[in-house]
Structure 1
Amino acid sequence: MNNLVQVEDLGRKNYKESWEYQESLFKKILDCKVKNRRESTDNNTPNYFLLVEHPHVYTLGKSGDLSNLLISKEKLNEIGATYYKINRGGDITYHGPGQIVGYPVLDLENFFTDIHKYLRFLEEMVILTLSEYGLKAERSEGETGVWLDVGTPFARKICAMGVRASRWVTMHGFALNVNSDLGYFDYMIPCGIKGKAVTSLNVELGKAEVNLAEVKEKLLKHFAQLFEAELHQKTEV
């Protein structure tokens, strides 16, 4: 088993390019697993954790309903956004500048083989991070992601989640609103859930901007603790 996770911050990167890169890492791990089993060698597959900011984009999960995107292609162009139907779970979500998107591409056989536990750990990573900013974030029963003021008329989502897994290898992940332009959420029904608001960390703290690098550092710290992982930061050559 390999608990090393290579962390790579992609900066601001086009959604399609990031998706293709994820797919290449996902395939690399799957191919490695097949080879290990064919040759009866120890399972020593790599693990990755990508961090990225995307330009404005809406993505729809494989079981999602396109009617939850409330604007036309013409309006998408007008607001400088793109749209993709993708192969994760969940419904529609938005990514954009000021939002930390995390894509753990892991072989869960290196950690534990339980998808529900995996999702709960990703949620817990965000919950623990937000607690460092004095926010009481929590889960909402029957709804993935991380929320504030659950069970009240003021319930609002601060982090969306949607993953894909095959042979215990994961891709896609979470999107935490830090300095997001919340106006872009008005053009969709977030995650297909009507009547629920969306928020961001800077709004909750009453700040114009929160340091993204600091938030990333806290997320990675809690990820390492929860998954008992050793993180290696990829450096540019």
Structure 2
Amino acid sequence: MYDKKKIIGEMSRTNWNPDSNKEKEQFLLQILRGTNDIEEISELCEALGSKGSLFAIPTLMARMIDAEIEEKSWFLGALMMLRLRMAGWDIQMLDKLFEPEWWQTKWIGSKGRFLSFISLLSADQSNYFDSLKMEELAQAVIKEMKFDISPYNTFNELKICTPEWNLEQDLTIMLAGVEEDLLMAPIFKDKILKNLDSQVAENIINMRNDYLVTRLNLHHNFQHYHYLLKTISVLNRP
């Protein structure tokens, strides 16, 4: 188990290397996703701003959006320090990484696929398809993705009035994507290296899911929801 104070102390040293300390940075980011303590936020933002990697950006950005003025100043400060340290990078990519709207996932799929997306995202081993949980999560996703479900006001109304919803078919699509990932993983690991464009694309997908997990307040089971969002994103297509 990592220790927050110890890691922050290590980050203050000149020999700190983000590439060899990814797990320690993720430990700090996981704390940042859930804390509302202003002192803890300030110390984490200071450490991540001065020595964090680009993978800290989505969590900082996600927490900044709805933060109060004092908290927002710490998140902004950390992001500004990160950008200064990334001087020399492609300017167009930097503009995207530090633009809040760029991180927002928009829902472009059908209303039926959206119903499946929420159903799969809200299910867990103890309580499958709980209607209250689905409604609460759906409202958060609708707000975050700016998805217009009119003329309906609630997820439940949408569910009742969407005849083209086919959860079984959408689940099959999702599972096919999971199977493909499982088949390709050992090939990438043992036989070939992903080309640079593929690595960048995968990093961006993972970072966007970092952002979305944080925005939807699903960080309590980060790895589960991070992977789940990645697998069900196949439903968000025109």
| TM-score, length-scaled by structure 2 | 0.24
More helix by percentage: 2
| TM-score, length-scaled by structure 1 | 0.24
More strand by percentage: 1
